[in-house]
Amino acid sequence: METKQPRQKGRRQEREARILSAAEKVFAEAGFGGATMQLIADMAGLPKANLHYYFPTKEALYRQVVENIFQIWLRAADVFDSATGPAEGIAAYIDAKMELSRAYPAGSKVWASEVMHGAPVIQDYLETTLAEWTEGRMEVIQRWIDEGRMDPINPRHLLYMLWATTQHYADFGHQIETLNNGAPLDDAGWTEAKRAIKQIILTGVGVEIPPET
């Protein structure tokens, strides 16, 4: 019994993870309205009705997907705080967010779709967690400006630019792929993208570009 209980829990967690992974892909490709429980079930490899055992409703499943993405997304901000200055901080944040765009393109799309549709399930997070996070980072940037370590730019719009640019490589990945002769960016392509972005933005805020990590 003591060996069975953990094994079943592991089994449940494993299934939930597989469902969430499938749901993320389907929601990203079809949107909330276009996604069907049938498609998610097929991709997760279990009967449709089984989904309703793990997640009572389509909306509950969707909510879980969006919340998971939001957590991963926020965690990328850690590099900002541990930075010693604007060059390292902004460069590390660009690198971190670009790697997230590459690793979780579906998640980024679900997030974008959720916000574009008026954030019906995540509005409270925007008003609390995200608002606080944004205020905190704006203060950090403003301090760097006040200390003369970077040009006096508008911290809020700098953050928007960082979000927009990095997430673009996930959300508009299909367009980028098409303009890259139909092939997704390879290692060199991603490295060059990160380099180009850091060059323009870091130069744009008046700091030296730190050496490659």
Residue 188 contact, options DNA, a second copy, none, Cβ 5-8 Å cut-off depending on partner type:
none
CA distance 47 to 45: 7
Minimum CB distance to a second copy, residue 184 (Å): 13
Among 118, 183, 187, 211, binds a second copy (CB under 8 A): 118
Closest-CA residue to 94 (of 208, 204, 198, 205): 198
Instruction: Show contacts with a second copy in window 30-49 (CB under 8 A).
Output: 30-35
| Cα angle: 136, vertex 139, 140; to 5 degrees | 90
Work out what residue 196 binds among a second copy, DNA, none; the CB cut-off runs from 5 to 8 Å by kind.
a second copy
> What is the per-residue binding string for a second copy in 119-158, x denoting contact by CB under 8 A?
x---x--xx--xx--x----------------x-xx-xxx
Phi, psi of 151 (to 5 degrees): -65, 155
In the chain, the amino acid numbered 154 is: N
Quickly list H helices, 35-122: 37-44, 48-54, 58-75, 78-81, 86-103, 105-116
- Of 37, 43, 77, 161, the residue at the interface with DNA (CB under 7 A) is 37
Q: How far apart are the C-alpha atoms of 20 and 73, rounded to whole Å?
A: 17
Size of the site for DNA (CB under 7 A): 19
Find out whether 79 and 87 touch, Cβ atoms under 8 Å.
no
Q: Which stretch binds DNA (CB under 7 A): 51-59, 120-128, 173-181, 182-190?
A: 51-59
Q: Locate tokens 């944040």: which residue?
A: 93
Residue 58 or 195 having the CB closest to DNA = 58
Q: Which residues bind a second copy (CB under 8 A)?
A: 28-35, 109, 112-113, 115-119, 123, 126-127, 130-131, 134, 151, 153-154, 156-158, 160-161, 163-165, 167-169, 171-172, 174-176, 178-179, 192-193, 195-197, 199-206
